Structure 1
Amino acid sequence: MNTIRVLVVDDSAFMRKMIRDILEADHRITVVGTARNGEDGLLKVQQLSPDIITLDVEMPKMDGLTCLKEIMKNHPLPVVMLSSMTKSGGESTLKAMEYGAVDFIEKPSGAISLNIESIAEQIVGKVIAASRANLREVQKAQQPPVKTIHPNRFAYSKSKQDLVAIGTSTGGPRALQQVLTALPGNFPAPIVIVQHMPPGFTQSLALRLNRLCKISVKEAEHQEVLKPGVAYIAPGDYHMNIQQQQTNLTIHLDQAEANKGHRPAVDVLFNSIAHLQPLSMIAVVMTGMGSDGALGVERLKASSHAVTVIAESEESSIVFGMPKAAILTNLVDEIVHVNEISLALMKRIGGHKG
C-alpha cells in the first residue's frame, strides 16, 4: 500500500517538527519535505510532487492564501490549512476554503503537551480524509454567483409548519454557500445547521454567509426562538438541540459529551427534532468525512413525523463520507447534486404553483 506523501509548509521550525512527527507516527503517511514560507513551498511542490500539503495561513514573504491560489492554479492538490483562532484567522480560513483548500486545522497554541493526543488524532484524520477528496470539485474553487430561486415559482401554505436541518463537515462552508445563497429572502421555514468547526470559526462563517445570502444567517444563541427565513449555525464546541415551548421552536445549546468526537454533532441535532410535535421536517446531509448524521436519520425516520431526507451526491461531495453513511441507511428520499439542493428544498416546502 502506497503511503500518503505530505509536504508541511510553516514558518515556525517548532511547528514544522511537531506536525512532521505527528504525521510520520502514522504508518499511512510519509512527510516528503518541509518548507518555511509560501515561496519555499511552491518550489518544494515542484521538486517533491507531494500528494497533499499542510499550509500555514500566516507566513512571511508569501502568505498561505497567496501560496494556495498559486498551488490551485498551477499544481492542484488537496490542501489542509493551519489557522489561528482569531477573527482575522477565521476570515482567512473561509477565504482559503473559497480558494480551494479542502479543510483546515486550528493551529495549536498554549500548553500543547496537554492535548497533544487529540491534536495528533485530528491532524492525521484530516490529512487522510483530504487525500481522498474529490479534487475535481475542489478545483471549482471560485464559483460564479449563484442565482436566487424566484419565490413566485412556489406556493406556500400558511397552515403548514416546516423545519430544515442541515449537517455537514469537510467541504461544508462552500457547500453551505452554494445552497443558502440560492434561497429567496422570504424562505418560509427556519434552517438549523451543524457544521463541524471549532469555536470562533462558526461565527466567522455565519457573518460571511449573512453578507452573501438573501436569507439571514447567524450563529445560534441559547434559548433563541426560531424564525422563518433565518439560518442558525451551531457554535463550535456546543451541541444544538431544538426544543418546543408552546407554539415556538427554541434553540438549546449545551456542552454535553462529544458524539463520535464531534461537538456540535449532526446526530444530536437530528435526534432532538425527532422529539418535536408533528411538523414537516427536511433533513439534509452534505459533504463530510465520517458518519455523523446517519443515526440521526434513522431516528427521524422512526418518528411519526413527516420527514424528508436529502443527501448530497458523490459527484459534488468534497468528501463522500457523511452522505454515503446516510444513503447506506436506505432511508434517504433524494440524492442530489449540491447545486440542486436549494431547489429540492423549495419544491418540498412550497411545491410548484399550478
Structure 2
Amino acid sequence: MYPAQQAKLRVLIVDDSSFMRMAIRGILSRAPKVEIVGIAADGVEGVEKALALKPDLITMDVEMPRLDGIGALKQIMAKQPTRVLMVSTLTCEGAKATFEALDAGAIDYVPKNVTDSKDAQSVFQQALLAKVAEASLAPLPMRAGMAPRIVRPQQVVRPSHFTHRKISYVGIGASTGGPVALQEVLSRVPVNFPHGIVVAIHMPKAFTGPYADRLNAKCSLSIKEAKDGDIVKGGQVLIAPGGVHTSLVKQGSNIVVKTFPTSEFPQYIYIPSVDQMLTSLCDASGGAMLGVILTGMGNDGFKGMQHLKGKGGVTLVQNEATSTIYGMPRACIEGKVADVVLPLDQIGFEIGKIGS
C-alpha cells in the first residue's frame, strides 16, 4: 500500500493542538509501515520541517497560529511539492477551508471529530489510516512548469461508436481527488446542457452542502445539494448529500431524489454510494443515461457502470495520467465497462457532446 522503494512511509505531523498531535502520532505509530519523522506545532515550523526532512506525506491542520495550514501548504507546494493530507473540522468553515486546500494541491482530507467518545475516536482512527494509505498511492504533486508523468497509453473509444444511443441523464461518481476533478469537469459542461446531472462523491454530511455552494459559485450550471423530492432536471446538477445513500426513482414523468439511511444498504462501504446512485438512475431512466467515473480509491461505481452498460447506456471514465487515485477508473477499464477513456480536461466537453 505504501511506496515500494522504501520500507516505511515517512510522515510529518503538523498541528497546533497537542492533543491532536498525540492522537495522530499514536494512531500512525501503530501502523507497521509508517514512520513519524517529525512533529510541528504551527505552519511556520511545518514548512521548515517539510523542507528539511522531505517526508513522503504530511498531515496538516487547517487552523494554526503564525501560519495556517493553507498558507503552509502553498509554501510547501511552491518549494518542494509533497503529498499533504488536510485534517479538517466537521464544520461549514472547516469544509470551505478544506476545499481551498485541495485547490492549492492537497491530496485529500480527513475530518476530525475526536472527543471522549470511543466511537468518534474509532471512526477518526479508521479514517486516518485509510486516508494515509490512499494518499501514499497518489503521485507527487507537480510544481508549476514540471512535465507531466508518463504512463502507458490507453485506448480511447470515440462517441461516434454510440451516437445512436439516447441520453437523458448523467450520473457522475468520484472519491479521492474528486472535489477538484469534478469542478474541472462541470466548469466545461455548456450552460445550456439539456439533461439533469446527479453526482455522488464520498464526503461527510457537513461537507456536501458547502461543496455544492462552492461549485455553484464557480460553474455556469445550477448546482445544489440534493434533497428528498428534488426533481432531476436539465441544466441543474444535484450533489448527493453526505451521510446517507441517494437513490433516483421514477414518479410520473419525472425522476426524483430519495435518500436512505446507511443502515438500509449495509453492503456499501462508501457513503454516499456511487453504485447505488448510478444503478437507481439507470433503472429510473431505462438506461437512457451517461455514467461517468472520476478519480478515486477502490471500485465504487464499477457495479453501477456494469449495470448501465447492460442496459445500453454510455460510460465514460477518467484516464490514469490525470487521476489522483486510479482505483475507481481502473476497475471500470479493467472490467471492460468503459466506452470512453479521457483525460480530465476533456471530460466536460465530451459530456456536452454525448448529451447534445
TM-score by length of 2: 0.89
Contact 1:171–1:287 (8 Å) recurs in 2: yes
The SS at the match of 1:275 is: helix
Mark the CA change 1:176 to 1:138 in structure 2 (over 3 Å): closer, same or farther: farther
Residue in structure 2 matching 1:67, options 59, 72, 75? 72
Change (3 A) 1:112 1:59: farther
1:320 maps onto 2:326 in alignment: yes
Q: Output one character per residue of 1:201-242: Cα deviation in whole Å (capped at 9) or x when no partner.
A: 111110011011111010001111111010000111011111
2:84 equivalent in structure 1: 79
Q: Provide the rounded CA distance (Å) in 2 between the counterparts of 1:246 and 1:200.
A: 32
Q: Quick one: structure 1 residues 96 and 179, their matched pair in 2 at CA, closer, same or farther if it must change by over 3 Å? A: same
C-alpha distance after superposition, 1:20-59 (max 9, x if no partner): 1111211121111111000111111122211000000001
2:291 pairs, out of 279, 283, 295, with 283
1:90 counterpart (85, 90, 95): 95
What is the aligned counterpart of 1:296 among 299, 304, 321?
A: 304
Q: Give 1:267's aligned residue.
A: 275
Matched with 1:150 is none
Look up the match of 1:222. Answer: 228
**2:156 corresponds to:** none
Q: Is 1:45 equivalent to 2:50 in the alignment? A: yes
Aligned to 2:344: 338
C-alpha distance in 1, partners of 2:45/2:211? Answer: 30
Q: Is the deviation greater in 170-179 or in 101-110?
A: 101-110
Where does residue 253 of structure 1 map in the other structure? 259
AA partner of residue 299 (structure 2): S
8 Å CA contact retained: 2:81, 2:142: no
| Inter-CA distance 227–291: structure 2 relative to 1 (3 Å threshold) | same
- Report if the CA contact (8 A) 1:72-1:139 is conserved: no
Q: Which amino acid aligns with 1:278?
A: G
Q: Which residue of 2 aligns with 1:177?
A: 183
Structure 1 match to 2:38:
33
Counterpart amino acid of residue 349 in structure 1: G
Q: Distance in 1 between matches of 2:324 and 2:286?
A: 34
Tell me how far 1:261 sits from its aligned partner: 2.3
CA distances 1:173-201 after superposition (whole Å, capped 9, x unpaired)? 11111110112221110000011111111
Q: Could you say which residue in structure 1 is the equivalent of 2:203?
A: 197
- The counterpart of 2:19, out of the listed 14, 20, 41, is 14
Letter in 2 for 1:196: H
- Work out the CA distance in 1 between the residues paired with 2:61 and 2:262: 32
Does structure 1 conserve the Cα–Cα contact (< 8 Å) formed by 2:243 and 2:262?
A: no
Structure 2 partner of 1:186 = 192
Cα shift readout 1:278-332 (whole Å, capped 9, x = no counterpart) = 35210000001111111111222233xx311111000100111111111111111
Q: Which moved more, 1:254-263 or 1:100-109?
A: 254-263
Change (3 A) 1:193 1:223: same
- Structure 2 unaligned regions, length at least 5: 1-5, 146-162
Cα distance in 2 between the residues matched to 1:238 and 1:9: 31
Contact 1:57 1:82 survives alignment (8 Å): yes
Greater Cα shift, 180-189 or 276-285: 276-285
Change (3 A) 1:95 1:138: farther
The reply to whether residue 127 of structure 1 matches residue 132 of structure 2 is: yes
Work out the CA distance in 2 between the residues paired with 1:138 and 1:254. 42
Q: Give the superposition deviation at 1:107.
A: 1.3
Does the aligned pair in 1 maintain the 2:167–2:290 contact within 8 Å? no
Q: Which residue of 2 aligns with 1:233?
A: 239
Equivalent pairs, count: 332
CA distance in 2, matches of 1:138, 1:273: 39
When the two structures are superposed, what TM-score results if normalisation uses the length of structure 1? Answer: 0.89
- Counterpart contact for 1:163–1:279, Cα < 8 Å: no
Structure 2 residue 348 is the aligned partner of structure 1 residue 349: no
Which residue identity is paired with 1:105?
A: V
Query: Within 1, Cα distance between the matches of 2:99 and 2:192?
Result: 26
8 Å contact kept, 1:137–1:316: no
**What is the letter of the counterpart of residue 314 of structure 1?**
E
* Residue of structure 2 equivalent to 1:109: 114
